[in-house]
Structure 1
Amino acid sequence: MSNQTWTIKRILDWTRGYLERKGDEHPRLSAEWLLSNVTGLSRVQVYTNFDKPLAPSELDAMHDVVVRRGRGEPLQYVTGEMPFRHIVLHCERGVLIPRPETEVLVDAALEGVGAAPLSFPAILGEAPGPAERARPSDQDDSPEGEGPGEKAAEPEEPPVLVGPGCRVLEVGTGTGCIALSIASERPGTRVVATDLSPQAVALATRNRDALGLGHAVAVVEGDLASAVDPELMGTFSVLVSNPPYIPSAVVPTLPQEVIGYEPGLALDGGEDGLDVFRRILELAPQALAPGGMLCCELFEDNVGAAAELVHAQGGWASAEVREDLTHRPRVLVAIRAMG
């Protein structure tokens, strides 16, 4: 058997069987994903190239990723990427893997973006304003272009402008999946994404730059909104977060694929799973503009209690719980009163 040629079909079938024996819940999908990652073929191309033999380097790479997946390492960490809504994100160990149910959270945030007023003339950070950038220096009367022996100036990175559109604050951005989905699906929206983890901030920044969204998304390191420009507080139309929300007693019961690889900091929400949510709720009145939206993804057993905390705080026009793709209560959506 070792003398036979390892074609796409043969390695696909062998990998599916191997992962099935290792307990993979979706062995065929995993095999397709791993093979696509190693060969550079799309999943459709995998099925139209069954007779194509793998190069020795591809076989070596396939062996490595199949062993890692067989040990239970999440596919997203093995391949280093995953699709989320309409974008593809880089993933790495130490940063929470986006989940399909988080797409419902993005849907809710996009509703808040759509309902926002279109009047926010300001700039994030310290970049000069549009008029200032467009005006030549009073001391600069040289002709356009570089002179003899002069080196052209490096182009400045465009500032993150807040023009027509709205401002969104995301707390705990992780890979950046929420912030980057909002910015890519609603051009003109400006997002400030924060995270306490330096690794998450670095990864979200790389994802932002790979998607060409540096003009729309600012990623900052800090606890909740501690690193956000104070002048922006009270101007956000949406505050969105997928905070740690698993009750501490439930964390050890999660699948080994989760607790064995993903960061506990992004999972454990304290005794009732609402420790971080309570802090976000305290932040919301300071961050949101009147009529702004708070939307959070939470645990199915504590999202109702979170809604009660919103009502008890006061100052909210409404608070509702929405179901995820599996019809479990998952997302809290609350609207600040206008007054």
Structure 2
Amino acid sequence: MSQTGQETWTIKRILDWTRGYLGRKGDEHPRLSAEWLLSDVTGLSRVQVYMNFDKPLTPAELDAMHHAVERRGRGEPLQYVTGEMPFRHIVLHCERGVLIPRPETEVLVDAALEGVDAAPLAFPAILGDAPEPVGGEASASDVGDASFQVGDASSRGVEPAEGDAARGQGAGPAEPPVLVGPGCRVLEIGTGTGCVALSIASERPGTRVVATDLSPQAVALAMRNRDALGLAHAVGVVEGDLASAVDQRLMGTFSVLVSNPPYIPSAVVPTLPQEVIGYEPGLALDGGEDGLDVFRRILGLAPRALAPGGMLCCELFEDNVGAAAVLVRAQGGWASAEVREDLTHRPRVLVAVREG
């Protein structure tokens, strides 16, 4: 793939060549991949790609396309090659080492939004720890707007609740405290790119989301996505195991606890496509012998985290989500527990509502 002699690599020519090359390499959707890579390299939308078939690529674009096609040909996920992915109504930065959002996770967001919509219009602020305003004394209205801080609770003398730190994993470094006002509160466990937390905050203005992750890389990426979308006022991202890094005064005030935890049974992980197990983090995939190791811990946390009538939403494996519903009912204290299908009509999302 080079611009030599009389050969001119137009958009149409490179599109056709890339589709054929990736098809021979085993890409299940070679045209889509070719369109996506071309769009990323040229800065054109996929519609504009088809409106500019005769446009030649510049030497820099051709070189970038060459490297991108090589990476895709080796099986690297498109999202890692281009560095971004659309999800619902937002576009997210993606990078190797952080789980790529899946279309079925959009169903998880739909369920969480139901919980937000069913919640009281506004929870009162939790006062305390508000920073002094710049230029003067704090007024009553200032304190009311600065309702609570999301950060490393232990740094303020609040110990994580027993059981939140497992396998020696406690609260890690947190970003500077994020102030959020009174309103419906959502807790997300295992945020990854931030796709769920950021979708909820962007689609339901006024909702306040605390998102956690055990991976420092995921926390940093979720923060970058949050800041790029202008949602720093609504979403706090902290590093820690489950809710160990969340201000303990917030426990019991969340209307929704949502999570897409590791849920693939250990024996199934090696059978996943090479594009998945060869590039995506095992920490975000392997859920233990039955795939429910992390879910059980989230279920143990849920009664302390949720307000009365609050909703638990978890995306799980099609073969274990039914067993998860049985665990919820056996725990007690839940008004309902149901399993919902994903876009391909496979059982995928557990939705449970606390007694109110």
Same fold (TM over 0.5): yes
1:267 aligns with 2:285: yes
Select which of 281, 286, 289 maps to 2:304.
286
Select which of 225, 228, 236 maps to 1:210.
228
What CA deviation, in whole Å up to 9, does each residue of 1:230-255 have, x standing for no partner? 00000000000000000000000000
Report what 2:181 is aligned to. 162
Q: Which residue identity is paired with 1:101?
A: E
> 2:44 and 2:58 mapped to 1: Cα distance?
13
SS at match of 1:97: coil
**Alpha-carbon shift at residue 125 of structure 1 (Å):** 8.8
How many matched pairs? 316
Residues 189 and 211 of structure 2 are in contact (CA less than 8 Å); yes or no, is this contact kept in structure 1? yes
Report what 1:147 is aligned to. none
List runs of 5+ in structure 2 lacking aligned partners: 139-175
1:113 aligns with 2:116: yes
Q: 1:54 to 1:125 in 2, by over 3 A?
A: farther
Task: State the structure with more CA Rg.
Answer: 1
Residues 19 and 70 of structure 1 are in contact (CA less than 8 Å); yes or no, is this contact kept in structure 2? yes
List runs of 5+ in structure 1 lacking aligned partners: 139-156
TM-score, scaled to structure 1: 0.90
Report what 2:271 is aligned to. 253
SS at match of 1:306: helix
Residues 124 and 162 of structure 1 are in contact (CA less than 8 Å); yes or no, is this contact kept in structure 2? no
**Alpha-carbon shift at residue 299 of structure 1 (Å):** 0.2
Residues 211 and 237 of structure 2 are in contact (CA less than 8 Å); yes or no, is this contact kept in structure 1? yes
> 2:81 and 2:36 mapped to 1: Cα distance?
10
Select which of 76, 97, 101 maps to 1:98.
101
> 1:175 and 1:227 mapped to 2: Cα distance?
18
SS at match of 1:82: strand
Select which of 208, 220, 227 maps to 2:245.
227
Residues 112 and 256 of structure 2 are in contact (CA less than 8 Å); yes or no, is this contact kept in structure 1? yes
Q: Which residue identity is paired with 1:337?
A: E
Q: 1:67 to 1:126 in 2, by over 3 A?
A: farther
TM-score, scaled to structure 2: 0.86
Which consecutive aligned stretches of 4+ in structure 1 deviate over 6 angstroms post-superposition? none
After superposition, residues 315-330 of structure 1 pair within 5 angstroms as: 315-330=333-348
**Alpha-carbon shift at residue 2 of structure 1 (Å):** 4.8
Report what 2:193 is aligned to. 175
Q: 1:124 to 1:167 in 2, by over 3 A?
A: farther
**Alpha-carbon shift at residue 133 of structure 1 (Å):** 4.2
Residues 158 and 214 of structure 1 are in contact (CA less than 8 Å); yes or no, is this contact kept in structure 2? no
> 1:158 and 1:190 mapped to 2: Cα distance?
14
1:237 aligns with 2:240: no
**Alpha-carbon shift at residue 135 of structure 1 (Å):** 8.6
Backbone CA RMSD of aligned residues: 1.7
Residues 340 and 347 of structure 2 are in contact (CA less than 8 Å); yes or no, is this contact kept in structure 1? yes
